[in-house]
Amino acid sequence: MSNKALEIKNLSFKYRHNSKETLKKINLSVEKGKWLSILSRNGSGKTTLIKLAAGLLENSSKGSIKIFDQEVNQENFASIKEHIGMVFQNPDNQFVGPTVQDDVAFGLENKSIERNEMIERVDSALKDVEMIEFANREPNSLSGGQKQRVALASVLALQPDIIILDEATSMLDPKGRKSLLKLVQKLRSQYKITVIAITHDIQEIEQSDQVIIIDGGKKKLEGKPAKILIEDEKLESFGLEVPFTKRVRKRLFELGIILPNDYESKEMVANKIWKYYSKM
Amino acid sequence: MEILFKNVDYIYQPNSPFQFKALTDVNLKIESGSFTAIIGKTGSGKSTLIRHLNGLLKPSSGEVKIGNLTITSSIKESQLSDLRRKVGMLFQFPEQQLFADTVEHDIEFGPINFGTTKEKAKKIARESLKKVGLNDEFLNRSPLELSGGQMRRVALAGVLAVKPDILVLDEPTAGLDFIGKKEIMKLIKKLQLEEHTTIILVSNSMEDVADYAEEVILLSKGKVIKQASPNKIFSNKEITSALGIETPQTTVLAEFLLERGVDFKGSLPINEKSFNNFLKKIFEEKKKTRIL
Ligand SMILES: Nc1ncnc2c1ncn2[C@@H]1O[C@H](COP(=O)(O)OP(=O)(O)OP(=O)(O)O)[C@@H](O)[C@H]1O
Ligand SMILES: Nc1ncnc2c1ncn2[C@@H]1O[C@H](COP(=O)(O)OP(=O)(O)OP(=O)(O)O)[C@@H](O)[C@H]1O
Ligand SMILES: [Mg+2]
Ligand SMILES: [Mg+2]
């Protein structure tokens, strides 16, 4: 298999019922096994972009989208689908089974996976997201965060080459969110899965390999998180959050305490403040 | 209107194999005009609790009092119409409350339904849309052909349009961009301060809770563990760590400093404003003693 999980060239897109172009000449390349984070304001085209990549919207532009070197189009849809597992922004749009376990099994049935293995995969995915006790529940009767956990389990059970997360943890409590992202990270390194994650949480991009920022339908910034996270002014100009520790750094600067312009964890910042404080 | 919960239990799908007790012996008092946040892990009962506030769910046992109205398991739907006018509710998933063919019709629906003239409702729709950060171009769009964050904003505009006395918000900022989050939280706070709207906010953002709420109700497995100020809740390490409740980022940083020997004089800062003040104070004090 090629080393390029996703390659987008010169992609533009316009919705039929929308007078404006939603995406403008996007170029993007993601290597197999990497984690890409996508950041932008509301309505900038994140969901549109990943739906195009997964073949769920038709690319009518001259640009091209390739998944593992294969053009994403209607003819190739079946084989493109094999590679991708997607968690939608609203989990309600994703549920198909009458019970949680049927729902997780659904994608596997289509893949004609042997029954024993299927049961095993469903069980292990539900255990991973801590939803095994809800296996017989109707998905509709779950709480918001429980729905998001099940939606993720359905994708994990498929063991896809590419996992796409469209704000997949937006309704979880902070600890729950961290533990699910850790889980995805673990599976990614174990199976060399490629992860494409949309988020509004600036802290979340720490764990990615590559970040892109979209604004006004265009790709405006791209780089490693360490580089993006220190671009205070640019982040602000794209309507994004400046990381917490960077905000603290700014306050300290105003008090005459100068910390290097790196992205640092809270603990590292605490060490530096303490050093100053105890020396004074 | 004051809100009282007395010994409220709520059981989903009673007498079925899926019977589930989502609330157990809930007792609360929420004062009129206050800003109360409800926090707790996934499945702890937050959405279940707030759905009692407009009679969408009725207690299986116990009672909920809102102003003069007492809601028990036997209350009739017809007795709830007045309440529904006074309590505005933003659901956790905005799609569940968007239904009209255009954004404009969606937002107008509430006011018209409650007797406002069509013309006035039109004006309200525009104003409400602006408040949530969307311009007039959205009025003729289909609410179901919007981005996730735009949908949540439209749903919120629809709730604000009826000017409720009690505003109940189930994760209103989930899926909003950074600026949207800040603006909407400020707008909600403004409604509390200027219109005396009672605000009940379910949130997973501990920073928002620390910045805006006056009271916090902490739920775990359907029970109220504690009702207190954000300061008391977030500085209660026993409770937060036992229940796996994350504290605001500021408090996490302050705790690291505390471990290293910084003296916070008994009260850890829970939001950036108080943390910044504290930093300023300690470094200025240090400077002074050094000069002396
Ligand atoms: N079905 C549709 N028809 C017409 N316009 C649409 C449709 N879906 C989305 N749009 C518009 O396209 C733009 C991009 O939407 P998209 O859902 O890709 O944004 P997003 O970056 O995912 O935003 P959010 O952070 O709010 O989820 C928005 O302005 C939206 O209103
Ligand atoms: N119709 C139902 N039948 C059975 N159980 C239900 C039903 N609806 C909700 N529950 C259960 O009640 C519990 C509380 O759900 P609720 O939606 O109140 O949680 P929550 O605190 O809002 O969680 P979240 O933060 O994930 O939205 C959950 O365990 C949920 O699965
Ligand atoms: Mg989106
Ligand atoms: Mg909920």
Q: Tell how far the Cα of A200 is from the centroid of ligand 2, in angstroms.
A: 25
Task: Please compute the mean of the pLDDT values over residues A26-31 and round it to a whole number.
Answer: 98
**What does the alpha-carbon distance between residue A65 and residue A77 come to, in Å, rounded to a whole number?**
12
Q: Who's near A200: CB < 8 A, 6+ residues apart?
A: A39, A167, A170, A241, B175, B176, B177, B178, B181
The four Cα atoms A171, A174, A180, A186 give a dihedral, to 10 degrees, of 150
Which ligand is nearest to the Cα of residue A45, counting in written order?
Answer: 1
- For residue B187, the domain's CATH number is 3.40.50.300
Residues B226 and B282 occupy one common structural domain: no
Instruction: Say whether B278 sits in a helix, a strand or coil.
Output: helix
Average pLDDT, whole number, for chain A? 93
Q: The tokens 């012996």 sit on which residue?
A: B25
- Pair B209, B240: CB distance under 8 Å: no
Cβ-nearest to A145 among B42, B244, B280: B42
**What one-letter code names the amino acid at A74?**
Q
Q: If pLDDT is split at 50, 70 and 90, which confidence band does B291 have?
A: low
pLDDT at B292 over 60: no
Least confident of A196-210, A220-234, A247-261, B221-235: A247-261
Residues B238 and B170 occupy one common structural domain: yes
Q: If pLDDT is split at 50, 70 and 90, which confidence band does B264 have?
A: confident
Task: Please compute the mean of the pLDDT values over residues A21-32 and round it to a whole number.
Answer: 97
Token couple for B160: 């604000």
Cβ-Cβ contacts under 8 Å, A141 against chain B: 12-13, 18
Total CB pairs under 8 A between chain A and B:
147
- Per-residue model confidence (pLDDT) at position A97: 87
Task: Please compute the mean of the pLDDT values over residues B96-103 and round it to a whole number.
Answer: 94
**What does the alpha-carbon distance between residue A98 and residue B24 come to, in Å, rounded to a whole number?**
28
DSSP per residue over B148-178, as a string? HHHHHHHHHHHHHTT--SEEEEESTTTT--H
Q: If pLDDT is split at 50, 70 and 90, which confidence band does B285 have?
A: confident
Residues B131 and B119 occupy one common structural domain: yes
Closest-CA residue of B relative to A198 is B175
Q: What share of chain A is helix, strand, coil (3-state, %, to 5)?
A: 45, 20, 35
Bridge-based pairing state of the strands B20-30 and A210-215: unpaired
Q: Report the DSSP beta bridge partners of residue A85.
A: A163
**What does the alpha-carbon distance between residue A7 and residue A31 come to, in Å, rounded to a whole number?**
9
Q: What share of chain B is helix, strand, coil (3-state, %, to 5)?
A: 45, 20, 35
Decide: A141 in ligand 2 pocket, CB within 6 A.
yes
CATH superfamily of A4-229: P-loop containing nucleotide triphosphate hydrolases (3.40.50.300)
**What does the alpha-carbon distance between residue A162 and residue A24 come to, in Å, rounded to a whole number?**
24
Domain chopping of chain A, boundaries: 4-229, 243-280
Q: The tokens 């107008």 sit on which residue?
A: B108
Residues B288 and B190 occupy one common structural domain: no
Cβ-Cβ contacts under 8 Å, A259 against chain B: none
Phi, psi (rounded to 5 degrees) for A174: -55, -40
Q: The tokens 């994140």 sit on which residue?
A: A46
Q: If pLDDT is split at 50, 70 and 90, which confidence band does B287 have?
A: confident
Percent of chain B with pLDDT over 90: 85
Residues B31 and B94 occupy one common structural domain: yes
Residues B262 and B234 occupy one common structural domain: no
- Pair A231, A207: CB distance under 8 Å: no
Mutation target to probe the A interface, by most A beta carbons within 10 A, among B21, B42, B139, B184 is B42
Residues B60 and B153 occupy one common structural domain: yes
**What does the alpha-carbon distance between residue A240 and residue A204 come to, in Å, rounded to a whole number?**
13
- Per-residue model confidence (pLDDT) at position B288: 72
Decide: B16 in ligand 2 pocket, CB within 6 A.
no
**Structural domain boundaries enclosing B254:** 248-292
Residues B209 and B156 occupy one common structural domain: yes
Choosing from A11, A12, A15 the residue with most ligand 1 atoms within 8 A of its CB, the one to mutate for a pocket test is A15
The 8-class DSSP code of residue B9 comes to: E
Q: If pLDDT is split at 50, 70 and 90, which confidence band does A1 have?
A: low
- Per-residue model confidence (pLDDT) at position B167: 98
- Per-residue model confidence (pLDDT) at position B290: 63
Cβ-Cβ contacts under 8 Å, A173 against chain B: 39-42, 204, 244-246
Residues B110 and B201 occupy one common structural domain: yes
Task: Please compute the mean of the pLDDT values over residues B72-99 and round it to a whole number.
Answer: 93
pLDDT at A134 over 60: yes
- Pair B253, A250: CB distance under 8 Å: no
Q: Tell how far the Cα of B42 is from the centroid of ligand 2, in angstroms.
A: 8
Closest-CA residue of B relative to A144 is B92
- Pair B71, B52: CB distance under 8 Å: yes
Percent of chain B with pLDDT over 70: 99
pLDDT at B105 over 80: yes
Cβ-nearest to B257 among A252, A256, A273: A273
Decide: A27 in ligand 2 pocket, CB within 6 A.
no
B283·A278 Cβ contact <8 A:
no
Residues B54 and B77 occupy one common structural domain: yes
Q: What is the total count of domains within chain B?
A: 2
- A255 or B38, which is more confident: B38
Cβ-nearest to B149 among A43, A251, A274: A43
Q: If pLDDT is split at 50, 70 and 90, which confidence band does A184 have?
A: very high
Q: Provide the whole-model pTM.
A: 0.95
- Pair A213, A219: CB distance under 8 Å: yes
**What does the alpha-carbon distance between residue B143 and residue B104 come to, in Å, rounded to a whole number?**
9
Closest-CA residue of B relative to A275 is B260
Q: If pLDDT is split at 50, 70 and 90, which confidence band does A144 have?
A: very high
- A278 or B252, which is more confident: B252
Atom of ligand 2 nearest to the CA of B42: 26
